Amino acid sequence: MKVMKFGGTSVGKPERMHQVAQLITNDTEPKIVVLSALSGTTNTLVSIGDALSKGEKENAKQIIDKLESHYHEFVQSLLHQEATCAKANAILAEHFEFLNIITKISFNEALNKDILAQGELMSTKLFSVYLEEQGIKHALLPALEFMSIDANDEPQVAVIRQKLLPVLAAHPGIDLFITQGYICRNIRGEVDNLKRGGSDYTASLIAAAANCSVCEIWTDIDGMHNNDPRVVNKTVPIEQLSFEEAAELAYFGAKILHPTCIWPAQQEKVPVKLLNTMQPEAAGTVITQEAGSVGVKAVAAKDGIIAINIKSSRMLLAYGFLRKIFEVFEKYRTPIDMITTSEVAVSVTIDSAAFLPLIIKELEPFGTVEVDSDQTIVSIVGNDIAQTKDILSRLFDCLKPVPVRMVSYGGSRHNVSLLIPSAYKTETLQLLNKGLFDL
Ligand code: ASP
Ligand code: MG
């Protein structure tokens, strides 16, 4: 059994949905196909919820009507037979009636989650009708029957497995299953979700719960690249990454994979493959337990970073100083990304300014506090990077023109992180592309 997950753009146009149907019938391995909502739909559903939360019912109604006509056009070119068209129109009628009823009743957060779930419910149902039209035998599995989160809004693989396996077993002779990404039930039994972009997470959870051979994530780029293709001219896909390398890259800015998506597959040692719907023959990137090779594999950048420097002569030889500083960040639930220390000062970075004024106020009694915003973390990732010969000299050689503000090396064996002013990001990524990858 394998998992194949297709994102919003892979199902966002009728012809792309046709192509997905081809891709999933290319081989005979039994599979669970996880779909996102059609591209743009979840954003639209968010704006419907926003409008309703502000009491703007007319506005919400207009957005719903526009979305409905989009779906009608979609269905018209997706399907070609009268019976399946009628079926699809009945599905749309049901879901849009639901949205329209919601505009008439009093709005609350649980209802908002119901609104957000409509995208994946519709995409999977429409896809199922298309498969039916094509005579492709399959079963549609309601994710709300097996995908759940606990009291802390965290999914538990064992709990999901316990519910999923009987659902699969209830369909003997079926080896193609379609289900919704993103949506789940919470501890109160209400419809909830795994947060924006959560379909990857669904895929990884199912792959872990059903002990799948592989979890394939199909998008519109051919795998994880060695650098940001939006910033540098030439990038190449990375063939193989370890879970640890991939997690560092995802966390430090590589947009392709949702950071939390990794752990369930990693825990059950299911390889994750990143593949391109537009170029299905391309090898993509495979993420496994092993890294495949040693050395630098990729760089990624994370913007919107704030550096805070606390200077204090009292820190000299003092124990407990760092704890006091960390406690301030803990109090305001603000995670620290990077940290560097000297004997009289400590610099940390955060990626949220939400509590910055309060944090600064509480840090001031410890010393002089300086804040630099508009910073970028550039992370250089690779298996056992610290063992790579000359890595630091190569790095700093190519970054001579860049005023590096902080360096973090040795925290993990897979990563060197630099903090630079965001104004230097493009130049830094280009210099690294040349200096480390010769691209
Ligand atoms: N449709 C959801 C979103 O746009 C989940 C996903 O696409 O992964 O966030
Ligand atoms: Mg999406």
Evaluate if residue 411 carries a pLDDT over 90: no
Cβ–ligand 1 distance for 119 under 6 Å, the answer yes
Looking at the predicted structure, is the pLDDT value of residue 68 above 90?
yes
Mapping DSSP to helix (H, G, I), strand (E, B) and coil, where does residue 341 land? strand
Closest to 117 measured CA to CA, from 47, 182, 200, 39: 182
Structure confidence at residue 46 as a pLDDT band (50, 70, 90): very high
CA of 36 to the centre of ligand 2 (A): 6
Reported as a pLDDT band with limits 50, 70 and 90, residue 259 is low
Residue entry with tokens 């009728």:
14
- Taking the CA of residue 8 as reference, the ligand 1 atom at the shortest distance is 7
Stated as kind and residue range, the H or E segment containing 184 is: strand 183-185
Q: Strands 139-141 and 176-180: what pairing?
A: parallel
Q: How far is the CA of 199 from the centre of ligand 1 (A)?
A: 6
Q: Give 82's contacts (C-beta < 8 A, 6+ positions apart).
A: none
- Residue 353 — φ and ψ, nearest 5°? -95, 5
Question: Would you identify the CATH topology of the domain 2-220?
Answer: Carbamate kinase (3.40.1160)
Sheet holding 215-219, edge to edge: 139-141, 176-180, 31-35, 2-6, 215-219, 272-276, 285-288, 240-242
The pLDDT value recorded for residue 256 is 66
Ligand 1 mean position to 273 CA, how many Å?
19
pLDDT tens-digit map of 102-127? 999 999 999 999 999 999 999 999 99
Which ligand is the nearest neighbour of the Cα of 260? 1
Residue located nearest, by CA, to atom 6 of ligand 1: 197
State the closest ligand 1 atom to the C-alpha of 43, by its place in the atom list counted from 1: 4
Give yes or no for residue 316 having a pLDDT over 80.
no
**Cβ neighbours of residue 339 closer than 8 Å, sequence gap 6 or more:** 346, 347, 348, 349, 408
Query: What does the block give as tokens for 14?
Result: 């009728």
* Cβ of 196 below 6 Å from ligand 1: yes
Arithmetic mean of pLDDT, 356-375:
96
Task: Answer yes or no: are the C-beta atoms of 93 and 170 closer than 8 Å.
Answer: no
Mean pLDDT computed over every residue of the chain: 94
Residue 410 confidence (pLDDT):
85
Q: What pLDDT score was predicted for residue 30?
A: 98
Tokens coding 437: 């990858």
Question: What is the reported pLDDT for 255?
Answer: 66
The architecture in CATH of the region 297-437 reads 2-Layer Sandwich (3.30)
427, 402 in Cβ contact below 8 A? yes
Query: In whole angstroms, what is the distance from residue 386 CA to residue 378 CA?
Result: 16
288: CB partners within 8 A, 6+ apart: 240, 241, 242, 243, 271
Q: What residue owns the CA closest to ligand 1's atom 8?
A: 197
Closest CA to 6 of 164, 202, 183: 202
Q: What pLDDT is attached to residue 320?
A: 84
Ligand 2 centroid–CA 35 distance in Å is 9
Would you state the structure tokens that stand for residue 158, as one six-digit string? 């064992």
pLDDT per position as a tens digit, 212-228: 999 999 998 888 899 99
- Could you report the per-residue pLDDT of 319-358, keeping only the tens digit for each? 888 899 999 999 999 999 999 998 889 999 999 999 999 9
Residue 99: Cβ within 10 Å count? 21
Q: What ligand has the least distance to the C-alpha of 182? A: 1
Measure the CA–CA gap between 131 and 151, rounded to whole angstroms.
Answer: 37
Domain residue ranges of the chain, discontinuous segments joined by +: 2-220, 297-437
Q: Measured in angstroms, how far is the CA atom of residue 342 from the centroid of ligand 2?
A: 43
Residue 408, token pair as written in the block: 């973090």
Tokens representing 161 are: 């497995």
Extract the tokens encoding 320.
């407990």
Contact 184, 194 (CB under 8 A): yes
> Which candidate, 387, 350, 351, 223, places its Cα nearest to that of 298?
223
Secondary structure E strands in 59-181: 139-141, 176-180
| Tokens describing residue 109 | 């957060």
Among the bound ligands, name the one nearest to the CA of residue 36.
Answer: 1
Q: Is the dihedral of CA 37, 42, 45, 49 positive or negative?
A: positive
Q: Tell me, rounded to whole angstroms, the distance of Cα 102 from its chain centroid.
A: 29
Q: What 3-state class would DSSP assign to 106?
A: coil
Q: How far apart are CA 47 and CA 41, in angstroms?
A: 10
181 lines ligand 1 (CB under 6 A): yes
199 close to 244: Cβ distance less than 8 angstroms = no
Ligand 1 atom at minimum distance from 7 CA:
7
Tell me the best of 10, 35, 183, 196 to mutate to test the pocket of ligand 1, counting ligand atoms within 8 Å of each CB and taking the most. 196
Ligand 1, atom nearest to 36 Cα: 7
What is the C-alpha separation between 251 and 300, in angstroms, rounded? 9
Q: With a 6 A CB cut-off, is 36 part of the ligand 1 pocket?
A: yes
The strand pairing partners of 302, in sequence order, are 377
CA of 297 to the centre of ligand 2 (A): 26
Closest CA to 153 of 112, 181, 195: 195
pTM, two decimal places: 0.86
How far is it between the farthest Cα atoms of the chain?
Answer: 80
Q: Read off the tokens for 255.
A: 């947009």
Q: Can you tell me whether residue 276 is helix, strand or coil?
A: strand
- Helix then strand then coil, in percent of the chain rounded to 5, is 45, 25, 35
pLDDT of residue 54: 96
